[in-house]
A and B are shown apart, each in its own frame.
Chain A
């Protein structure tokens, strides 16, 4: 959109520059003060206005208010030409009106205003461009930083859900007094889970066996909390254990199954995590639960889950492109199937 604030600021700076030029010329003995000012203002303001309006008219985008390519290079010369062609006669008019006594020779010669207009227009356009650009870049940098910080925080919160953490601690507190060996076990699971989650590295890969170990820790914690209401099975064929997968890929799926499928269901339920080969070149990972199932309205996931699923899609897309697939489907018997198909070799 048309933004008046920078335009007005530019106009002010232009007027100030014209005053300076007029003062400098007068000091150098180049004619009368008011004549110099009249020429200077006429040429300067017209040049400025044409440059600013042209650049806004042809601007590349709202963020970068400067035209691309040939137009970008033409803006300043065009503005200078307009300033000289229209401004000079205006200055002449002023002299005719107020100083008819001056001979034609007393008027400022043509080469001087031309040189001055050239120099100032180029300098000022360059200055405005640089200032505008640095402001824009600074804003962009700040915004990017803010977004990154927010994303990190929500990622951490998504995985370290405070409700889960405090409930786990509450269980631990009870076990310390009543069943110390089991408390120790639970604490070990919690430590392993926290270490894996807080490591925060979403880059690189780890082995499928490490991913399953993390799921074991999480599910063991949840089983102490939920008691008989949670049963689970993890199936990892030995020949697949060493395959590389992105870290914490399955964990959000298992967490979703518990939070939205099993925890709200009176009877609890079963979670099955499986790894297998889809075909010769694709690995198939699945998380199946017999919980409450998907919410009725597609596109309106229960709060909290949307973020996790979105993240899985983005991570798969950035690493494997279109070679990986992620499907979340409702089981006909209630419950949810989440399936991830990965190519064995990452795409180039």
Chain B
């Protein structure tokens, strides 16, 4: 598991999903969220920084298009809830959490780019529960790559990708990376 001790060198091997494919995955997840919850009543979308947040905004945009409702979209920075802060030598940069509404009694859909060990989601759940008392929390991810270390599963998945631990999944979004898509790479050295 990468510990944040150093930035790994990564060689990109193949593109798994192109920009169009990412758009379709986001659209499908948006429909599934509305279907599962019987509409958008009481829903709040919360993206885990950094890449979960632009994905959450896109899901909200899709829902606005086909359902005609604007859902609140929040951003969660889980840095202060990480379980490895004590084992890395450099404190990660914190960029702040911004949830635009009260989450008490709401159904929160937590959104991230990749689901891997589950530790990021664990941290996000802890932070959400400190922020309020949602009625329920669901999880949506673009890629589930396996290798869970704690018992967490996603409710909405764009694509299941079997990986080895030496591989890296890179979800790219226009807002941060200048392009859309998902590719698989390999750690060097």
On whether the two chains bind one another, the answer is no
Residues of B in contact with A (beta carbons under 8 Å apart): none
